[in-house]
Structure 1
Amino acid sequence: MKFTNEQLNAEGIRQWNWIQKQFLNCPLLLGNGFSLNFSSRLLYRNLYEKYIETCPKDVEKLFAEFKSTNFEIILEHLDSTERVCSALEIEQHKITQNKNLIKQGLIDSINRIHPTPDEIKIDQIKLVAKKIKEFDQIFTTNYDLFLYYLILESKKFGDYFYMPFFEDERFKRFNTGDIFKSNHIYYLHGALFVFNKSVDTIKIKRDENWLIDVITKEISKDNYPLFISEGTSEMKLKGIQSNNYLTYCFRELKENKNKNLVIYGQSLSDQDLHIVKAIDENYDKVAFSIRISENKTMNELKSEMNRIRSILKNTEVEFYDSSTLFEFE
């Protein structure tokens, strides 16, 4: 059902312009809900539908058994099974094989469902890029290409990938000391355009080709993106800690000098409890986006707000209507 601004305000859901002065020049944390404004094809269910069309029968059985379309949930179950097998010294080759198939299937599916150049709205990119410049730093758990192009359009943010990578001039190498930019974006769980090469973390440079095509060619050559897809928060954290770039990004989230944070399109689910903990231990106040839709009741909105309050016990939370921060049309 529809709610007026007054009704939302009475329940503690503000319009962004009512609270924005409290969050001037602060960092922004973006989740999958941000990307869905550009393309609904990036829903988890759509990822699943594309993958299930061609996946092995054993993998299809796993999704059916757990009655889930969420890759991360299935990976979580397989990870638990691996640990049980290891503890009891049971052969686990088939489990590990299917786990790797699902991880690779997730990457392949993301490539298949990503919008084509014709579907990218340049005016939309420019509109959002202008707004995003109001923030000091950007942290994101997103893996898609929209932020890649938004950052290029904004001309404000660096990403620490600026050093030459002499083995392959198509890439730039990660280095922490960036003398060119003071504002940065941090891909907390990796991205489709970030890769590992030996001890280096590298990023594909833009060229005349559509970026998703370049990435697909790399995957076809068995060069896979740096992308944390393990199911549990614990496994994601282990993945982060195993890579110097991801470790650096996560440390910057935890040690940011600005103690206010704006969150948009990031649900802070159980699979991201490592991020929840980092926020709750290091930030004084957050602005959390609430998506208002016609099929949500006020009780459902209040339930979501109560959930966020329950996991951010040490942090003051302001809630705002997500539609009032960014304009996508």
Structure 2
Amino acid sequence: MNGDNGYIAMQVSGLEVLPGAGLTDSGINYDLLFYWARNKYSLAPENYRTDDGFRAQRRWEGHGTDQEVYFLHGGLHIFDTGKYIKKHVCTDDGFTIIEQVRNNLGRGNFPLFVSEPTHEKKKQRIDHNPYLNYCYQALGNLNGILFIHGHSMDDNDKHIFDKIKSSRVAKVFVSIYGDENTDANSRTKANAIAFLQSFNRSVEFYQAETAPVWA
């Protein structure tokens, strides 16, 4: 996967990873905002389309497709029927995703997401699901430059940082919001360096306020 055109997301933990652009932590669990936005072709840039690996009957195929969107920790819109990985679709017509999720719960189909408290347990969950594992392996194919925007760099996502370390990403930019000398920002900077920096990968920091990602 080219580091300039893939979209990797961890919606359930509030994380989205955009190779060549960024990884963000919205701070809102089970956030559907990015998924909602990519289904709205009238939003700028208009008619911008991406491939999430889902095909006929909203079934995920992944292998053999041009998939470029990856939800690393699953999401409310994805569910496992036991036979197929499928998704709900949010469009300008029809039921909302939340309504579809409620109906699905009534049929015993639960959303596919990673909610375990530690990186070890999250990794185990990922390893035992074909969709999650496929997306996780794609993370290791990144190259070039990666922006990490608005993420706390906490230890419970160390499995993600470990996979980035195994990739060919050469430089990582990590955002800092507000005073860089606060305890929280100092911890974020220390973790970013500890988790990601190596002899062939540098880590730099920038002010989150200078990158209006929703503008």
In the superposition, the TM-score normalised over structure 2's length comes to 0.76
Shift in CA distance, 297/270, structure 1 to aligned 2, threshold 3 Å: closer
Report the 3-state secondary structure (helix = DSSP H, G, I; strand = E; otherwise coil) of the residue aligned with 1:285: strand
Partner Cα distance (1:228, 1:135) in 2:
21
1:238 is aligned to 124
Q: Does 1:25 align with 2:25?
A: no
2:146 is aligned to 261
Q: Does 1:196 align with 2:80?
A: yes
Between Structure 1 and Structure 2, the one with more strand by share is: 2
> Structure 1 residue 145: deviation in Å?
1.4
Partner Cα distance (1:281, 1:268) in 2:
17
Aligned length: 196
1:306 is aligned to 190
Report the 3-state secondary structure (helix = DSSP H, G, I; strand = E; otherwise coil) of the residue aligned with 1:174: coil
Q: What amino acid is the match of 1:25? A: D
Q: What amino acid is the match of 1:298? A: N
Q: Does 1:275 align with 2:160?
A: yes
Uncovered stretches (5+) of structure 1, i.e. residues with no partner: 1-23, 37-131, 165-171
Partner Cα distance (1:137, 1:173) in 2:
28
Shift in CA distance, 225/29, structure 1 to aligned 2, threshold 3 Å: closer
1:240–1:247: 8 Å Cα contact kept in structure 2? yes
2:146–2:171: 8 Å Cα contact kept in structure 1? yes
> Structure 1 residue 178: deviation in Å?
6.0
1:160–1:176: 8 Å Cα contact kept in structure 2? yes
Report the 3-state secondary structure (helix = DSSP H, G, I; strand = E; otherwise coil) of the residue aligned with 1:259: strand
2:117–2:156: 8 Å Cα contact kept in structure 1? yes
2:9–2:72: 8 Å Cα contact kept in structure 1? no
Return the match for 1:215 from 101, 104, 109.
101
| CA-to-aligned-CA distance 1:13-43 (integer Å, 9 cap, x gap) | xxxxxxxxxxx936566667x969xxxxxxx
Partner Cα distance (1:320, 1:30) in 2:
21
Alignment root-mean-square deviation, CA: 3.2
| CA-to-aligned-CA distance 1:50-71 (integer Å, 9 cap, x gap) | xxxxxxxxxxxxxxxxxxxxxx
1:17 is aligned to none
Partner Cα distance (1:139, 1:259) in 2:
14
> Structure 1 residue 249: deviation in Å?
0.3
Partner Cα distance (1:320, 1:186) in 2:
25
> Structure 1 residue 136: deviation in Å?
5.9
Partner Cα distance (2:10, 2:113) in 1:
15
Report the 3-state secondary structure (helix = DSSP H, G, I; strand = E; otherwise coil) of the residue aligned with 1:161: coil
1:29–1:261: 8 Å Cα contact kept in structure 2? no
In the superposition, the TM-score normalised over structure 1's length comes to 0.52
Q: Does 1:319 align with 2:205?
A: yes
Report the 3-state secondary structure (helix = DSSP H, G, I; strand = E; otherwise coil) of the residue aligned with 1:195: strand
Matches within 5 A, 1:84-233: 143-153=30-40, 155-164=48-57, 172-177=58-63, 182=66, 184-206=68-90, 208-233=94-119
Uncovered stretches (5+) of structure 2, i.e. residues with no partner: none
Task: Tell me: higher relative CO, structure 1 or 2? Use CA pairs within 8 A at least 6 residues apart.
Answer: 1
| CA-to-aligned-CA distance 1:86-122 (integer Å, 9 cap, x gap) | xxxxxxxxxxxxxxxxxxxxxxxxxxxxxxxxxxxxx
Shift in CA distance, 137/193, structure 1 to aligned 2, threshold 3 Å: farther
Between Structure 1 and Structure 2, the one with more helix by share is: 1
> Structure 1 residue 222: deviation in Å?
2.1
Shift in CA distance, 183/323, structure 1 to aligned 2, threshold 3 Å: farther
Q: Flag the structure with larger Rg.
A: 1
